């Protein structure tokens, strides 16, 4: 087919963008399909102002800045991008020929890489008195601009990386930050938890939010000690809720792929149950390997999947090149006297 791509990447989050870049390194004609209006996936939608710590080369980088750089990188070799197009169906016409239908059209490809993150997602919302009433009036689930918390009294609810990281970051903006968590154990990176307890953030474990009150905007939050049942009132201006997401695979459920819960089952090479289809990042469940929901880990999965996709299309091609300085069609000239990686 003259209009057939070598690879279609489903999802333009960080891992999908890196997969598109690496497909270009392998000289594969690439299309990226994204349901959201811009690249970045979950980071752009929910964490544009949050620092990311698990990407090599950056001690810390804002989510929006990481997405900007990844998008530049993925565009180097002429990949096509289609935004606001959700993939509705994926079917194999015959081995090596796939048909993908989106909300806007139909595309054909020899292979596909699913990099859809956690699928369609929405933040979990608090089910306490006042939470719905004050949403957008002091209660928020996403930080769009850190500056809006400048000089304000902030209550953060949650115990994962998002809650801990925002508490540490926003203490530089807010006049006071209080973090409550219903457990006595944080599901966050150990270094972040150590930094949290060493900071001026007021930390209250085994406490949860009981109700919210105010006149037009949030003014007070009542928190309850889960051990004693005692309640106390905090004067606050803003409440940031970080208690996870509701995720849904959506149409992926109907594509005929083997699934493991809300993830696509893959082997250690990233191959799904349909020939020529791969899954990488948070949506992939390696059945004979390990799964880690880290961007850095997803980058490695992406290079592996692209290598196998290239070999699937061109069986004489090696799955992996000897070093990242090589790209098909590019000349490689090592600096005289330097050590050259094995090919």
Segments in 137-274 forming alpha helices (H): 161-170, 190-198
Q: Which of 119, 112, 155, 137 is nearest to 45 (CA)?
A: 119
Long-range contacts of 296-300 (CB under 8 A, 24+ apart): 296/54, 296/55, 296/56, 298/14, 298/15, 298/18, 298/115, 299/14, 299/15, 299/18
- Which of 3.50.50.60, 3.40.50.10480, 1.10.3720.10, 3.40.50.2300 is the CATH number of 125-243? 3.50.50.60
Instruction: State both tokens at 80.
Output: 């096509």
CATH classification for the domain delimited by 4-121+246-313, as one of 3.50.50.60, 3.20.20.70, 3.40.50.1470, 3.40.50.720: 3.50.50.60
User: What does the alpha-carbon distance between residue 295 and residue 292 come to, in Å, rounded to a whole number?
Assistant: 9
Choose the weakest-confidence range: 26-35, 120-129, 297-306. Answer: 120-129
Q: How many CB atoms lie within 10 A of CB 35?
A: 21
Integer Cα distance of 32 and 114 in angstroms: 10
pLDDT tens across 204-215, in order? Answer: 999 999 999 999
Per the CB < 8 A criterion, the answer to whether 243 and 158 are in contact is yes
- The per-residue pLDDT of the chain, averaged, comes to 89
177-218, pLDDT tens digit by residue?
Answer: 999 999 999 998 898 999 999 999 999 999 999 999 999 999
Buried b (16+ CB within 10 A) or exposed e, 94-103: eeeebebebe
Q: Is the pLDDT of residue 329 over 50?
A: no
pLDDT for res 279: 96
**Arithmetic mean of pLDDT, 276-296:** 88
The 10 Å Cβ neighbour count of residue 253 is 12
Q: What is the mean pLDDT of residues 32-58?
A: 86
- The residue-averaged pLDDT of 118-131 equals 84
| CATH 3.50.50.60 boundaries in the chain | 4-121+246-313, 125-243
When comparing pLDDT for 3 and 154, which is higher? 154
pLDDT value for 322: 57
pLDDT the model gives residue 298:
93
pLDDT mean over 42-49: 79
The total of other beta-carbon atoms located within 10 Å of residue 173's CB is: 16
């Amino acid at each position: 087919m003259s209009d057939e791509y070598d690879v279609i990447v489903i999802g333009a989050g960080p891992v999908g963008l890196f997969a598109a870049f690496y497909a270009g390194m392998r000289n594969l004609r690439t299309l990226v399909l994204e349901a959201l209006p811009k690249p970045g996936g979950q980071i752009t939608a929910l964490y544009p102002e949050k620092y990311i710590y698990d990407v090599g080369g950056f001690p810390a980088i804002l989510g929006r800045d990481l997405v900007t750089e990844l998008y530049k990188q993925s565009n180097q070799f002429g990949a096509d991008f289609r935004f606001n197009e959700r993939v509705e169906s994926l079917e194999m016409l015959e081995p090596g020929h796939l048909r993908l239908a989106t909300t806007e059209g139909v595309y054909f490809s020899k292979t596909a890489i699913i990099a859809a993150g956690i699928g369609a997602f929405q933040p979990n919302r608090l089910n306490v008195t006042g939470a719905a009433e004050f949403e957008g009036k002091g209660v928020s689930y996403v930080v769009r601009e850190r500056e809006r918390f400048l000089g304000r009294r902030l209550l953060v609810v949650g115990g994962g990386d998002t809650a801990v990281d925002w508490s540490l970051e926003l203490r530089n903006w807010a006049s006071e930050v209080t973090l409550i968590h219903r457990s006595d154990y944080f599901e966050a990176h150990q270094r972040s938890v150590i930094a949290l307890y060493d900071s001026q953030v007021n930390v209250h474990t085994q406490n949860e939010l009981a109700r919210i009150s105010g006149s037009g905007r949030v003014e007070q939050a009542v928190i309850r000690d889960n051990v004693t049942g005692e309640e106390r009132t905090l004067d606050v201006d803003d409440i940031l809720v970080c208690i996870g997401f509701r995720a849904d695979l959506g149409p992926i459920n109907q594509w005929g792929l083997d699934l493991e819960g809300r993830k696509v089952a893959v082997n250690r090479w990233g191959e799904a149950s349909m020939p020529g289809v791969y899954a990488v990042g948070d949506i992939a469940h390696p059945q004979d390997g390990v799964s880690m929901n880290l961007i850095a880990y997803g980058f490695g999965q992406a290079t592996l999947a692209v290598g196998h996709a290239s070999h699937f299309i061109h069986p004489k091609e090696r799955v992996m090149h000897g070093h990242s300085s090589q790209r098909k069609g590019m000349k490689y000239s090592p600096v005289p006297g330097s050590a050259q990686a094995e090919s």
